[in-house]
Amino acid sequence: MKTSRFHEVVLGQSTDKFLRELAINVAIAGFIIHLLCCLLYDIGSLESIELIPFIDSYLDALYTPFSIILAYEVYELIRAIPESFSNSIGKQFEVVTLLVVRDIFKNLSDIGVSDVSIDSDVAFIAMEGLVFVLLFATSLYFRSQTAISVDISQQDDSIQAFVMQKKHLASGLAMVYVLVAMYSFTSWSMGVLDGETSLSRTVFFSDFFTWLIVSDIIILLVSYKHIIDFPQLARNTGFILSTVVIRVGIGTPGYTGAVLFILSASLAVCVLRLSIHSDLRNVPEKQGIKQS
């Protein structure tokens, strides 16, 4: 009961509502402040070598609100873990979709500023745009296929215990999320002070997805106590594989990372589709057994 109350405090509806409103307000304020910094740099009132990569284009200001929104979406991903594996994977692709959009905005702001040829930049942005569309389609597909909610109170004690264990794990992952965010922000800030001014998606997300994979594997192992159906176990294993591919893609720059995102989305969609097809085929068989 204590852990259930802790889960409600950390990941409950009231906390989610508060954090959502906070994220929106901070995103708006951050966007305005970032725009003002860009304006001050443009008119020559702000001169800082460390901050130039963040304020030399007005498009850079888009990075701040999207980073804040991404932080909230990661929280939403953690909240989805107790619901079902499919729901959490769908939320995972929503996070990656926004991550790619943020990269596109940053790359657009760098066009004409970096020494790289514009043609090369545009070609890569076009590739990222394709990745965004595919990831967005994947997240929508998962949302449409996992929209049906299940009443936990109507399930047997074993499944209820499994859901409670996932709530414990989600609460723990929320604490890890806060620690990783603090560590990543501190490390990035120290790097900026030392002259390392690169903006990379590996900041925070590389470490967080590593912990997300760990939590997914724990859920898979614990599920063996409650689920003996091979298709469900294979489905969850396939979803973990797609998460691992995403984690590798986050840490891989350029076209290779984009291809890995496409591979992860294709893998997850195929696994979910095969799982749904298997469930539909088994329904008549189960009904036939009951009738006989």
Give tens-digit pLDDT for 31-41. Answer: 999 999 989 88
- pLDDT, one tens digit per residue, over 19-33 is 999 999 999 999 999
pLDDT of residue 13: 92
Output the average pLDDT for the chain. 84
pLDDT of residue 106: 85
Under the banding of pLDDT at 50, 70 and 90, the label for residue 201 is: confident
Q: What does the pLDDT average to over 91-98?
A: 95
| 118 pLDDT more than 80 | no
pLDDT of residue 53: 73
| 268 pLDDT more than 50 | yes
The number of angstroms, rounded, from the C-alpha of 80 to the middle of its chain's C-alpha atoms is 11
Q: Are 74 and 95 in contact (CB under 8 A)?
A: yes
- pLDDT, one tens digit per residue, over 126-177 is 999 999 999 999 999 999 887 655 544 445 677 778 888 899 999 999 999 9
The number of angstroms, rounded, from the C-alpha of 155 to the middle of its chain's C-alpha atoms is 29
- pLDDT, one tens digit per residue, over 55-73 is 888 888 898 999 999 999 9
Encoded tokens for 231: 């298709």
Q: Which of 63, 92, 62 is nearest to 76 (CA)?
A: 92
Q: Which of 82, 127, 77, 73 is nearest to 103 (CA)?
A: 127
pLDDT of residue 4: 73
Q: Are 52 and 186 in contact (CB under 8 A)?
A: no
| 96 pLDDT more than 90 | yes
| DSSP codes joined into one string, 195-238 | T-----TTTTHHHHHHHHHHHHHHHHHHHTTT---HHHHHHHHH
| 196 pLDDT more than 80 | no
Percent of the chain residues topping a pLDDT of 70: 84
Which of the residue ranges 90-99, 132-141, 181-190 would you say has the lowest mean pLDDT?
181-190
Q: Which of 76-85, 119-128, 189-198 has the highest mean pLDDT?
A: 76-85
pTM for the full predicted model: 0.86
pLDDT of residue 285: 44
Encoded tokens for 1: 């009961």
- pLDDT, one tens digit per residue, over 210-231 is 999 999 999 988 888 777 778 8
Q: Are 120 and 251 in contact (CB under 8 A)?
A: no
